[in-house]
Every structure is written in C-alpha cells, then in structure tokens.
C-alpha cells in the first residue's frame, strides 16, 4: 500500500488515522495476527463484508444528525471509495460498502474534514448513541435530549474505560414517554422527565438487548438528575468492563452479566466504582446542539400537485406539526434504507430552500426533515415525488425495517432486503388502508441477531433454513407480538413458526386478513394478539409450514436465481479478542504508552485506566503461558493470584487483587495516578522478565 499522510486541525484524529495506516501496513507484513487486526479495525468502523477483499465502512452519526454538507461529503466518499450507495441503519448510522481496506485511512481523513468520524462505530465499544429523531421538535417532549445524547457520545469516544470491552454497549435517548428510541432494548436507555420543581432528569433502564435471546431492560431510576447521568453510565460501563464475559461472545452482553450476578449486585458494584470516576457531577451544556439554520420565509411559487390523492395520504402519514408553531416535521420513507449518491445530491438541492439544514436518520431507516413551513409542503412533496421518495405510510405497516442480510453481511442466512420490498409492495397493492396504521410494525433480519429489530416487531421475520429431504431451502422464523408499550415498557416478540421464505407474503396476508376480520373496533394488535394467544397464531399459520407441497421456486431465495445454500461466515459485530502471549505483552507496552501520554496531559483518570489495562494484559499473557484462558477481568485477577502470587512465582507486595483494585478505592488524583502508573510500569517489566525465563 502507498503511504498516506494527512494534515487535520484535530491532532487526536490525525493520530488515529495515521495509527490505522500503520496497523494496516503491519497486518499486510504479517506483524499483526489476523484476529487481533480484526478487533483493531472494527473499533475504527471497518467491517468485513460477505464478499472477500472488501469492507463495509460504518459512519458514526450521533443521534442520526447530518447536515446537507456532511451528506454531500459522504456521497462523494461513496462514489470515490465505495459502491455509490448510502445505507441507513437502525442505529442512525450510514454505511458504505465495497471499500478497499488500504484506502480506509484516506477515506477517514476526508470525512473528518466535515467533522465525521468512523471511530468506535463497530467493535467492543460504546456504539453510536441513538435518540428519537424528533428530539428538539417533538410536541410531546419535556425537553430536547439532543445535547445530552451529544455529550454522552463525546464523553465516551476514545474513553479508556470502553475501548476493549467484552462486547458492544448501546445507549439510547427517547424524547418522550412514547419511547421512540426503544429504551427497553438497550444496555442503558433513558427517557426525559421533569420533577415537581421543574428540574430535568431521566428515567433510566438497564440491561436490555435483542439478539438471539431478547431480554427487556429493568427500570433502575425513576428520576436521575441530569448532571448525574454520565457519571452513572460510566460506573455501569466500568462494571461491565471488569466483570463481563470476554471469551463466549454469545454471553458477552450486559444483559447476561445481570442474569449472572443479579441486578442488585451489578448496581452495588457500580456504586463502588463511583469513587474512581473523574467527575461526580457532569452538567450538560444545553446549547451544544443549536437550532439548525432555517430558510428565510419566501413567497413560494404555486405548485401543481401531480397526484392529489397521494399528496393527501402523504400529509396524513408523513407530516406533523412541530412544537415550534407554524413549522412542520416531514418524514421520508426510504425503501430498505438505501439511497444512491445521485439521489442524495438531488435531494439536498431540493431541500435547501425548503427545510432547515439538519436531517435526522430514523431508527426505521428513513429521514426526518425539520422546520418546513406549511406553504412549502406542496413544493417539497413534488420534489420528493420526482425522486420516488414521497411514498406515504412512514412508520406504518407499509414501512418495513430490514438489515442488509445476505446482500453483504457475513452472518446473513437468507435474504431480507428483497423480501422487505416485496412485502411493502403487497401492502400498497392489496392493503392500502394499512398505510394509516402506525400500531403494527413489520421488521426483518437476515439472521437471528436482530439487526433489523425483528425481536421488537408486532410482525417480524428472521432468516433461517429448513431441510426437506436431502435439500435445504431458505426460510423465515415468524415472530409476533413484540413492540413498544411506552414509558420504558416494551414487549419481546414470540417465536411462533418457521416457514419457507417465499411464503412470507402468504404469512402477511393471513395475519392482516385475520386481524381485519376478527379484531374489535379500536383493538390494538398487542391486545388482539394477547386475546387470541400464541397457539392460535401457530395453528393459523401451520398450513404454510407444510413442506410436502414445496415448489422448485421455493428452493431459490428472494432476489436470487441460484438454488439456496447456507453460507454463514464469521460475524464481526462484536470484534474478537486474541489471546496470544506475545501480542498481549505488546499491547501492555502500548497501553502503558497511552497511560504516560494521558498523564503528561494531566488526564489523571485516563492515565489510571490505561495503567489498569496494562496490569491486566500483562497478567493475562502470563496466565496463557500456563494454558489458563480466563473469560473476565476479575477472573484474570483471581487466577493470577492463585497461579503466580500464591505459589511464589511472581514477587509483588501483597496480592495482585489488592494492587489492581486500588483503581476503585481512590479518587483519580495526580498523586494516585503517579503511584499507580509506577506500579503498572514495574509490573510490566517483571512480566517481560518472567516471560523470557518461561520461554528459555
């Protein structure tokens, strides 16, 4: 690869990008193990695709906010480095596909020119902080959560406490009790509240998650004052980092740690950690996220509406009046979350004179426009219609959420994107009255991992396979009864039945016909599902699971021409931790360097945490020399004492436990940072000497 250098205004980002280039070079030269390199690139937003030799780049957009200039920059990047397509995700990111690994440092540098980052968009880190897209204009909100989401993003970006956790950590901010950011499926989800004194705070939920085993979050705080939120999150992350599973990625989420230790114990451990947190109160600058630039009011030319009926449907389903009187928010339904770069550019040209310079990506892969004057709505509709982006029914039954599935993802089992398009067409053509129904959500994932959020769908599908004789055919697991109730309460969907993928259309017809015919007036889908019961729906759909009536077409997946075969690669969403002795000692030296660098900059808390990780990496390396592979940081501490200190094989004063866990017994002062860093330095040097003696 050619050497690449950049000159950016932000020296921290410049160092990140140059470091990525060096790591790629070392990987190409065989100096970094493949598994270790995978975790390095994932933390920099670079994700291996299903197709060999190319990468998916995930662009981290806190709470889905993107300006016109940034969207154009991302479109330019996709043209130059990728496939000229932008994919909107359920975590309010934008993904670019088919990118060469060697060009990623250059790509990142160009994105950074418009303040866009890839850092920690993937990997074992705090992922993109999401928020209700309507935050700031939501008529129901007690206050705008955008500044709080932004502060959380900034605080944990590059924070030493969350760079190499056992797995990813997800945080959401809902704008109101409607809970449109799904607090109940996040590691930490919050909902804004005002107390009796009109002071701001948050309802806090802990330990939710979807995946193959959905678990709903627990309410742990009814009202946490606003300045206590970030310290609270930090304490929880510190516990997750220290006690969380690291070997078995299927059990490496916070929800499983809570199952293992119990909620009260996790909260007790978090309370202990608060001593070590750098700030006990973290006031939020409420002016961080200013109102976007609003176009000056002009006299809009008269527009002839090309399809008056569709326009009225669009007004009824995609437009709402903001809390700022006289302005409207407008949702754009984006089929399967894909926008070509050419369409993105045309879209910006249409929007500039009509809407504020701020777009929000929505959790169902659409877009939200802000501050549209009533007089501008006809021109906006016609402009969107020319781009085929004026379909009514945003967030309705006709707005299907989907992950990329087998189009690009290693873990995809069967197709999801073509299926989503087919199901949406079915709604528009056969059940047009359902475009007004926002009670029922349809969501699809290509596998059980729920990137398409099928676990919280009223009607959900996830990719699978079935065996018919000696042949395998694509199938979907049908999920029913999930979704948001409100104010932190949600429902996980039930697995009801598995059917061939090509019968998903029949499944949807049967479910909608059944609901139309047998539900009572005003009965929600949740209420109807509960009244009928899971077994009722199993019996309703059972004829579709009959494999004695298969046709040749059902052995071919949606969007494909070839006969289906299961081909699942290695998933990368959570990164991989490599347990090689030499690599771990190398990492220890690198972490010690970071500790010294943070210390020189007066960042005592960061220096202490880097020193903590130096101690653990060094100890883990020596344990591997005895074939002891631990799954948590606390296990590393325990096993090192048992196998080295207690046996007199490693000379330290007191126990390793006492040495390491000083971290949560002291304030992060200069004095403690000085002492702890010196102890970590000495421990690493002794570890290297011990390693050399073991090798000899």
pLDDT, tens digit (0-9, with 9 covering 90-100), for 624-647 = 889 898 999 999 999 999 999 999
pLDDT, tens digit (0-9, with 9 covering 90-100), for 533-571 = 999 999 999 999 999 999 999 999 888 877 766 655 445
Maximum Cα–Cα distance for the chain, whole Å? 87
Tell me whether residue 562 is in a domain. Answer: no
Do 357 and 436 lie in one domain? The reply is: no
Q: Which of 410, 471, 524, 385 is nearest to 50 (CA)?
A: 410
How does DSSP assign 300-325, residue by residue? PPP---S-HHHHHHHHHHHEEE-SST
Whole-model pTM: value is 0.92
Do 328 and 415 lie in one domain? The reply is: no
Tell me whether residue 548 is in a domain. Answer: yes
Q: Which of 394, 359, 445 is nearest to 92 (CA)?
A: 359
Per-residue pLDDT averaged across 96-111, rounded? 92
pLDDT, tens digit (0-9, with 9 covering 90-100), for 661-689 = 999 999 999 999 999 999 999 999 999 99
CATH code of residue 67: 3.90.480.20
The Cα–Cα gap between 604 and 599 comes to: 6
**pLDDT value at residue 446:** 87
Do 415 and 533 lie in one domain? The reply is: yes
Mean per-residue pLDDT of the chain: 92
How many folded domains does the chain comprise?
Answer: 5
To which H or E segment does residue 261 belong? helix 254-261
**pLDDT value at residue 318:** 98
Per-residue pLDDT averaged across 243-253, rounded? 91
Where is the domain boundary, 273, 300, 322?
Answer: 273
Do 465 and 538 lie in one domain? The reply is: yes
Is pLDDT of 25 > 70? yes
Share of the chain above pLDDT 70, in %: 95
Tell me whether residue 358 is in a domain. Answer: yes
Do 674 and 646 lie in one domain? The reply is: yes
Label residues 390-409 b or e (16+ Cβ within 10 Å = b).
Answer: bbbbbbbbbbbbbbbbbbbb
The Cα–Cα gap between 66 and 68 comes to: 7
Do 374 and 322 lie in one domain? The reply is: yes
Do 79 and 105 lie in one domain? The reply is: yes
Do 144 and 106 lie in one domain? The reply is: no
Do 549 and 589 lie in one domain? The reply is: no
**pLDDT, greater one: 340 or 590:** 340
**Structural domain of residue 538, as residue ranges?**
401-555
Helix and strand numbers (H, E) in the chain are: 20, 22
Neighbours of 309 (CB within 10 A): 9
Task: Look at residue 370 and give its three-state secondary structure.
Answer: strand
Do 363 and 269 lie in one domain? The reply is: no
CATH code of residue 204: 3.30.413.10
Is pLDDT of 3 > 70? no
**pLDDT value at residue 188:** 98
**pLDDT value at residue 572:** 53
**pLDDT value at residue 19:** 83
pLDDT, tens digit (0-9, with 9 covering 90-100), for 429-467 = 999 999 999 999 999 998 888 888 999 999 999 999 899
Do 551 and 425 lie in one domain? The reply is: yes
CA quadruple 435, 440, 445, 451: dihedral sign: positive
Q: What is the rounded (10 degree) CA torsion for 250, 255, 260, 266?
A: 140
Length of the chain: 696
Cβ contact 458:439 at 8 Å: yes
């Amino acid at each position: 690869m050619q050497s690449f250098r950049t000159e950016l205004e932000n020296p921290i980002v410049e160092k990140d990008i140059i470091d990525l280039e060096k790591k790629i070079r070392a990987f190409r030269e065989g100096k970094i193990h493949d598994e270790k390199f995978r975790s390095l690139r994932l933390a920099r937003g670079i994700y291996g695709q299903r197709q060999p030799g190319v990468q998916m780049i995930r662009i981290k957009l806190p709470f889905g906010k993107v300006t016109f200039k940034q969207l154009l920059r991302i479109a330019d990047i996709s043209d130059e480095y990728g496939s000229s397509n932008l994919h909107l995700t359920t975590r309010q990111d934008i993904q670019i596909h088919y990118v060469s690994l060697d060009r990623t440092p250059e790509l990142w540098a160009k994105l950074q020119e418009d303040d866009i980052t890839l850092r920690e968009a993937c990997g074992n880190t705090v992922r993109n902080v999401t928020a209700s897209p309507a935050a700031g204009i939501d008529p129901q909100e007690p206050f705008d959560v955008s500044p709080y989401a932004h502060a959380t993003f900034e605080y944990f970006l590059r924070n030493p406490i969350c760079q190499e956790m056992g797995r990813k950590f997800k945080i959401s901010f809902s704008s109101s009790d409607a809970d449109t950011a799904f607090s109940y499926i996040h590691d930490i989800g919050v909902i804004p509240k005002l107390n009796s004194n009109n002071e701001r705070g948050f309802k806090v939920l802990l330990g939710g998650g979807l995946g193959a085993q959905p678990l709903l979050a627990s309410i742990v705080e009814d009202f946490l004052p606003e300045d206590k939120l970030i310290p609270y999150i930090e304490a929880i992350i510190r516990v997750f980092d220290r006690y969380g599973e690291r070997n078995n990625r299927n059990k490496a989420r916070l929800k499983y740690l809570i199952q293992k230790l119990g909620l009260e114990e996790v909260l007790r451990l978090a309370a202990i950690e608060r001593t070590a947190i750098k700030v006990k109160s973290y006031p939020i600058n409420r002016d961080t996220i200013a109102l976007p630039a609003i176009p000056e009011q002009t006299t809009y030319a008269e527009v002839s509406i090309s399809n008056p009926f569709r326009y009225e449907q669009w007004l009824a389903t995609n437009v709402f009046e903001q809390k700022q009187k006289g302005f409207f928010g407008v949702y754009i339904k984006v089929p399967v979350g894909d926008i070509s770069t050419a369409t993105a550019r045309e879209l910006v040209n249409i929007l500039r004179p009509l809407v504020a310079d701020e777009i929000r990506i929505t959790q169902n892969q659409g877009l939200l426009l802000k501050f549209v004057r009533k007089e501008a709505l006809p021109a906006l509709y016609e402009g969107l219609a020319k781009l085929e982006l004026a379909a009514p029914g945003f967030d309705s039954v006709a707005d299907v959420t989907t992950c990329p599935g087998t189009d690009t993802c290693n873990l995809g089992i069967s197709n999801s994107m073509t299926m989503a398009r087919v199901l949406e067409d079915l709604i528009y053509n056969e059940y047009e009255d359902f475009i007004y129904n926002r009670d029922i959500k349809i969501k699809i994932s290509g596998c059980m991992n729920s990137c398409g959020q099928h676990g919280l769908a009223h009607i959900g599908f996830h990719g699978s396979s079935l065996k018919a004789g000696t042949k395998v055919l694509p199938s979907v697991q049908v999920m029913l009864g999930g979704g948001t109730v409100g104010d932190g309460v949600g429902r996980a969907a039930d697995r009801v039945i598995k059917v061939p993928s090509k019968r998903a259309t029949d499944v949807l017809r049967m479910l909608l016909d059944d609901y139309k015919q047998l539900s009572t007036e005003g009965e929600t889908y949740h209420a109807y599902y509960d009244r009928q019961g899971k077994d009722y729906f199993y019996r309703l759909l059972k004829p579709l699971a009959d494999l004695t009536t298969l046709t040749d077409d059902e052995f071919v997946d949606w969007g494909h021409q070839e006969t289906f075969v299961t081909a699942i690669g290695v998933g990368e969403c959570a990164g991989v931790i490599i347990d090689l002795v030499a690599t771990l000692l190398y990492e220890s030296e690198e972490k010690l360097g970071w500790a010294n660098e943070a210390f020189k900059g007066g960042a005592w808390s960061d220096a202490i945490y880097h020193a903590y990780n130096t101690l653990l990496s060094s100890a883990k390396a020596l344990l591997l020399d005895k074939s002891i592979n631990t799954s948590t940081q606390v296990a590393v501490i325990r096993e090192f004492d048992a196998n080295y200190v207690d046996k007199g094989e490693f000379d330290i004063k007191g126990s390793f436990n006492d040495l390491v866990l000083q971290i949560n017994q002291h304030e992060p002062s200069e004095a403690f940072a000085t002492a702890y860093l010196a102890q970590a330095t000495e421990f690493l040097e002794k570890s290297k000497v011990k390693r050399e003696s073991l090798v000899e």
